[in-house]
Structure 1
Amino acid sequence: MGPEVVIAAVSAVVALISVAVTYRTALVTHRLQDEARNREKVELAEDLFRRYRVPLLSSAESLQSRLHNVLSRDFLHAYLHDGDAEDRYYVRHNTVYVLAEHLAWLEVLRREQRFLDLDSVKSTKELFAAIQRIHHPLATDGLPGPFRVFRGHQRAIGEVMLHRVETSDGTVTDVLGYAAFCHRLETDPGFASWFNRLLAEVDDVEAGGRRGNERLVLLQNELVALIELLDPRGEWLPLEHRERLPRADVTVPASRTPNG
């Protein structure tokens, strides 16, 4: 075998080795880049949880607790019929407020998540699946009773409840407190228009009892499920405060309205 052949063979082997090394390097680089992107997504998801876990938990607890008291302890009846004018005002307006407050925090979370591409993160998928299960009982038109709020209306309520606040770290989004909510209802007809029907339907909730408010029973159950997901060991909210209302033997239907 002549030297030319040997040189050619060696060159071919070197070229193959070089291609193999380059390919393997590319695979390793690609894998490392994927792992870095996944770590970044997990870190973003964890940061999202850290920033919004407490307000989301607090608003979910306020709403589920109110629904539990309304549907199992005659909370509305006691104050709408036996209370004075201040009591009647409070139970009507605060019941609508705790719903609006929770929808507002869901809207904040949705806006934050929209730009982060976190769908592949398991914890984020579980969280937003739980949130969808909260939206659905309110939105479906297949359940009788008051407090039917289509998804677009839910988002609109969340949106009008938000305001910008200046802090030492810059401008942040916050949710209206109860006093500011009541003031806006009394002074801003455009704002009040999003809540007028709900305020009127508080009487229908009181009259319907548990059987006539299956929508709200299902909502209360899903709120407890969200609380369990966000705080499984009871670090923020006591485990004993998570009693689900008994559900009737019904299936939650899909909304007949496509954009509901």
Structure 2
Amino acid sequence: MGPEIVIAVVSAAVALISVAVTYRTALVTHRLQVEARNREKVEVAEDLFRRYRVPLLASADSLQDRLHNVLSRNFLRTYLHSADNENQHYVRHNTVYVLAEHLAWLEVLRREQRFLDLDSVKSTKELFTAIQRIHHSLATDGLPGPFRVFRGHQRAIGEIMLHRVESSEGPVTDVLGYAAFCHRLETDPGFASWFTRLLAEVDDVEARGRRGNERLVLLQNALVELIELLDPEGEWLPVEHRERLPRAELILPTSRTPNG
């Protein structure tokens, strides 16, 4: 074998080794970049949860607790037929408020995450699956009962419940408190129009009893599921306060139904 052939063979071997090293380096670099992006997504998701975990929990608990009291402890019957007009006013307005407050925090979370690529983060998938069950419970017309709120209407209620407040870190989005909510109902006809039907349907909820309020039973169950996901160990909310309303009497739709 002449020297020229030896040189050519060695050169080819070196070239092949160089290509293999370059390819392996590229694979390792790509893998490290993917891992870095995944870690960043997890960190972003964890930061999102840290910021909104407590208000989401609090609003979900307020709403599920009200639904539980309404459907199992005659809360509405006790106060709607009271001779005290203040009690009647509170029951109607605060029941609608706790629903609107929760929809507002869901809207805040939706706005925060809509431009974030978090679909591959397991905890994010679980969270938004639980939230979708809440939206569906309210929106579906496959279940009887008042308080059907189509998805667009849910978002609209969430939007009008938000306002900007100053903080040490600059303006932040917050949700109207109950006093501000009642004041807006009395002074802002445009705002009040979003809640006219819901306020009237509080009486309808009371009249139907649990059998006629399957939608709200399903909603209460979905809210407890969200609470368990956000606070599995009872760090913020006592585990014993998470009693699901029984759904044994429910006949759930077997086919897909319009849900707004």
Same fold (TM over 0.5): yes
Q: 1:103 to 1:75 in 2, by over 3 A?
A: same
For 1:249, the aligned partner's letter is L
Q: Deviations over 1:51-107 (max 9, x none)?
A: 000000000000000000000111011111024011111010000000000000011
Could you say which residue in structure 2 is the equivalent of 1:134?
134
> How many residues end up aligned between the 2 structures?
259
Structure-1-length-normalised TM-score: 0.97
Q: Deviations over 1:113-146 (max 9, x none)?
A: 1111101100000000000011111101111111
1:31 is the counterpart of 2:34: no
1:118 is the counterpart of 2:90: no
For 2:229, the aligned partner's letter is L
Alignment of 1:8-27 (within 5 A): 8-27=8-27
Q: 1:254 to 1:105 in 2, by over 3 A?
A: farther
For 2:252, the aligned partner's letter is T
Could you say which residue in structure 2 is the equivalent of 1:212?
212
Alignment of 1:74-93 (within 5 A): 74-93=74-93
Q: Displacement, 1:252? A: 4.4
1:250 is the counterpart of 2:251: yes
Q: Displacement, 1:256? A: 3.6
User: 2:42 touches 2:121 (CA, 8 Å); kept in 1?
Assistant: yes
The secondary structure found in structure 2 opposite 1:235 is coil
Q: Displacement, 1:158? A: 0.5
Q: 1:209 to 1:162 in 2, by over 3 A?
A: same
Could you say which residue in structure 2 is the equivalent of 1:240?
240
Gaps spanning 5+ residues in structure 1: where?
A: none
Could you say which residue in structure 2 is the equivalent of 1:145?
145
Could you say which residue in structure 2 is the equivalent of 1:193?
193
Gaps spanning 5+ residues in structure 2: where?
A: none
Alignment of 1:215-226 (within 5 A): 215-226=215-226
Alignment of 1:43-54 (within 5 A): 43-54=43-54
Q: Displacement, 1:249? A: 3.4
Q: 1:251 to 1:170 in 2, by over 3 A?
A: same
The secondary structure found in structure 1 opposite 2:166 is strand
Could you say which residue in structure 2 is the equivalent of 1:178?
178
Q: Among the aligned pairs, what percent are the same residue?
A: 85
Structure-2-length-normalised TM-score: 0.97
Could you say which residue in structure 2 is the equivalent of 1:107?
107
Could you say which residue in structure 2 is the equivalent of 1:62?
62
Q: Displacement, 1:21? A: 0.4
For 1:222, the aligned partner's letter is A
